[in-house]
Chain A
Amino acid sequence: MRHLPVIAAAIFTVGAHAETPRDFLARFEKEAGTAASAERGARFFTTKQGGEWSCASCHTDKPTQAGRHAKTDKAITPLAPAANAERFTDAAKVDKWFRRNCNDTLNRVCSAQEKADVMAWLLSLK
């Protein structure tokens, strides 16, 4: 029985392409060790954290809508899962963009808590 979580984790890693947005919320909450807050996520997403951009600069402050890249002007499909079924279904993609976009907006990676908060807020949007 003690090995069950290890096996489960291994299966999850292999099956990375079949994840759902809720799986990411659960994963980040587990890594953070505390519950997420959608309200904190909204504030984090829509305010600048010292850099030139906030997440909303490209994804808008209503991420059920399409956004535009702040520098290149390229259209970006909505980030909120309610408006875009393709979002948060592939762990490699999610991790890659959190890494890049957090570096670009905060000059550092996001903490598990910050990612959990963002997920909770995005999942609350209808």
Chain B
Amino acid sequence: MKPIIAAPLLALLAAFALPAHADRYNVPKNAAFEEECASCHLAYPPQMLHADSWRAMMGDLSHHFGSDASIDEKRRTAIADFLVANSGGRKTGNTRDAKGKPLLRITETARFEKKHREISAATWKRASIKSPANCTACHKQAAAGYYNEHSITIPK
């Protein structure tokens, strides 16, 4: 009986031990998403794009930002459904370009640009950073969904 009670209790305690605002970009648990979308880069939080952006991205994984990220059809639709179900709300802001086409990059959204206004073009290009999409370079705990200022260090 003991371990059955202990496991959920521990999980509950662990959840409470986290800083209050830490769950802001918690990536919901999903085995297929983790396996297929966190192998080449960290798992980007589904909340950071709207449903139409995710639908557009999931519609062409063979040409995914210059990489072949193709998967079988069953997994593709399952992950697309997961992303759409957990996609951004009002706080995410506009995720379309000037012509109304859904943006595919979080790093091109107005919200991202606003939050990163202070970072110069030269900083983004540093060898230690490589690309704005490399969230982990500065947000040390990004893989766990933490993006708040307490865990940011901009590498030299």
Hey, which bits of chain A sit against chain B, CB under 8 A? 69, 71-74, 96, 99-101, 103-104
Q: Map CB proximity to A onto B27-65 as digits: 1 under 8 Å, 0 otherwise.
A: 000000000000011100000000000000000001001
Nearest CB of chain B from residue A31's CB, rounded to whole Å: 21
Ordered by A's residue number, 19 sampled pairs between the chains whose C-beta atoms are within 8 Å are: A69-B40, A71-B40, A71-B65, A71-B66, A71-B67, A71-B130, A72-B41, A72-B134, A73-B131, A73-B134, A73-B137, A74-B40, A74-B41, A74-B42, A74-B136, A96-B71, A100-B69, A103-B62, A104-B68
Nearest CB of chain A from residue B132's CB, rounded to whole Å: 11
Query: What's the Cα separation between A10 and B134 when bound, in Å?
Result: 43
Partner of B68, one of A71, A73, A99: A99
Nearest CB of chain A from residue B137's CB, rounded to whole Å: 7
Q: Is the Cβ of A99 less than 8 Å from the Cβ of B40?
A: no
Nearest CB of chain B from residue A20's CB, rounded to whole Å: 21
A73-B134, A99-B70, A100-B68 known, 15 other contacts, Cβ within 8 Å: A71-B40, A71-B65, A71-B66, A71-B67, A72-B40, A72-B130, A72-B131, A72-B134, A73-B136, A73-B137, A74-B40, A74-B41, A96-B71, A103-B68, A104-B67
Given contacts A99-B70, A100-B70, A104-B68, contact A71 B42 (CB under 8 A): no
Q: Is the Cβ of B41 less than 8 Å from the Cβ of A100?
A: no
Instruction: Name, among A69, A71, A72, A103, the residue most crowded by chain B CB atoms within 10 Å (CB to CB).
Output: A72
Q: Is B133 in contact with chain A by the CB < 8 A criterion?
A: yes
Query: What's the Cα separation between A104 and B65 when bound, in Å?
Result: 11
Q: Is the Cβ of A100 less than 8 Å from the Cβ of B67?
A: yes
Query: What's the Cα separation between A103 and B62 when bound, in Å?
Result: 9
Query: What's the Cα separation between A74 and B136 when bound, in Å?
Result: 9
Query: What's the Cα separation between A101 and B40 when bound, in Å?
Result: 11
Inter-chain contacts of B136 with A (CB < 8 A): 73-74
Name A105's closest neighbour in chain B (CB-CB): B68
Inter-chain contacts of A103 with B (CB < 8 A): 62, 68
Q: Is the Cβ of B71 less than 8 Å from the Cβ of A69?
A: no
Nearest CB of chain B from residue A64's CB, rounded to whole Å: 20
Nearest CB of chain B from residue A118's CB, rounded to whole Å: 17
Query: What's the Cα separation between A99 and B137 when bound, in Å?
Result: 29
Inter-chain contacts of B62 with A (CB < 8 A): 103
Name A68's closest neighbour in chain B (CB-CB): B130
Nearest CB of chain A from residue B29's CB, rounded to whole Å: 20
Q: Is the Cβ of A73 less than 8 Å from the Cβ of B130?
A: yes
Query: What's the Cα separation between A101 and B42 when bound, in Å?
Result: 18
Query: What's the Cα separation between A63 and B68 when bound, in Å?
Result: 21
Name A69's closest neighbour in chain B (CB-CB): B40
Inter-chain contacts of A104 with B (CB < 8 A): 66-68
